[in-house]
Chains A and B, each alone.
Chain A
Amino acid sequence: MDDQEFLEYVQAGGQVETGDWMPDDYRAKLVKFIEMHGNSELMGVLPEREWILRAPTLQRKLALTAKVQDEVGHSQLIYRVVEDLGKPREHCLADLVSGKSKFHNVFHYPTKTWGDVGVIAWLVDAAAIISQKALLKCSYAPYARIMKKICWEESFHILHGRDVILAMVTGTPEQFELVQEALNRWWPPLMQFHGNPIPADDDPMYQWRIKSQGNEEARQQFLDGYVPQMLELGLTIPDPALRKRDDGVWEYTEPDWDELRHVVTGHGPKTQERLGFRRLNHDETAWVRSVVLAEAA
């Protein structure tokens, strides 16, 4: 099989296993994509971790802790897939803390109030699950299989987020306001989340069938599913241009793509602080890894 035949194979729905031959470019794209996903799971726990000690009830504290544990678990599963493609986890972590590799834009922002925690758990996870469901048909089968388990766990997270939001919008006017303010803060990064609207056929990740839908398709799906849910709670969406056309397509104010690029290249409001924490944590736990490995050897 040559590169062209491989491309036709995956475009016809063919799947690939770890030991199968694959073009170098395909392997490189897989590593880049899956590694960024693993990084995002690992960095994604930090905004929520900041609220574990400040959660309003014991029940919320336990649920948030469980969610953080899930996301770290996802990063372990995902880095394992990257390792089998040839990049060891230690290298992934080194590239993450040195700023060489990327993680999702939404994890570069601060969580100001408990309202942010609710909006993250509900809407950021909802946006993420749309991207992740498009990976269930990934041409690289080991990744697709792992996504099945991850999507299953994410569905708990969305429910947890909705529950947090519902408690607040049915609470005092101050609580409702916390949700509205958090939505105002998170709307721009949410609209940037699925990436700029390049046509799917120009997207190498789609061409190799690593993902099965284009960026704009994912964003439209998010708007279709969640705008009605936000409106029914009485929330105001901070985009006066947002409307659904008669042909079913959502129109919206063009997201700030420069901000997206700026943020994911290490210049978000919390990027350096969170990478610093990850670095510190990596250094402080080095002795655990060395003890575990030495004991078994």
Chain B
Amino acid sequence: MIWEVFRQERKGQPFQHAGSVEAPDFRFAEIYGREQYGRRGESEALWLVPREHLSVVEGWADEFDLKYRRVDGYSIKARLKEARERAESR
């Protein structure tokens, strides 16, 4: 059984994927996790998650070109330039 290991380096920081351990049950996963990912005080806490319990979501469709939701959907440079020129000529 494969357990994915997520490691939090300091309190308040996100848990980041660090690797995995193979263990028949949680008791052994905990022992291996502590040994391999926390022996030198490099982790505040670990999340150990059986791999089969992880559901991966990927691939993002954007059929309707929803650019107005993102900063790259707004190109203001040319308009700003024009606005400044108009302001000067007023």
Mark A residues whose CB is within 8 Å of B: 19, 73, 76-77, 80-81, 83-84, 89, 142, 145-146, 149, 152-153, 292-293, 295-297
Contact = CB atoms under 8 A, between A and B. Distances in A.
A80 B20 contact: yes
A70 to B, nearest CB: 8
Contacts of B25: 296
Contacts of A83: 22
Contacts of A146: 19
Interface magnitude class on chain B: 10 to 19
Given A73-B36, A77-B36, A149 B18 contact: yes
Given A77-B19, A149-B18, A292-B24, 11 more contacts: A80-B20, A80-B21, A81-B19, A84-B20, A145-B18, A152-B42, A292-B28, A295-B24, A296-B25, A296-B28, A297-B24
Contacts, number: 37
A46 B24 CA distance: 28
Contacts of B22: 80, 83, 89
Interface of B: 2, 17-22, 24-25, 28, 32, 35-37, 39-40, 42, 56
A142 B40 CA distance: 21
Given A80-B19, A83-B22, A145-B19, A19 B56 contact: yes
Contacts of B37: 149
A284 to B, nearest CB: 20
A145 B28 contact: no
A153 B21 contact: no
Nearest to A296: B24
Contacts of A73: 35-36, 39
Contacts of B39: 73
B24 A293 contact: yes
Nearest to A78: B19
A19 B56 CA distance: 10
Nearest to B36: A73
A145 B17 CA distance: 9
Contacts of A149: 18-19, 37, 42
Q: Which 5 A-B pairs have the closest CB atoms?
A: A296-B24, A296-B25, A73-B36, A146-B19, A293-B24
B37 to A, nearest CB: 8
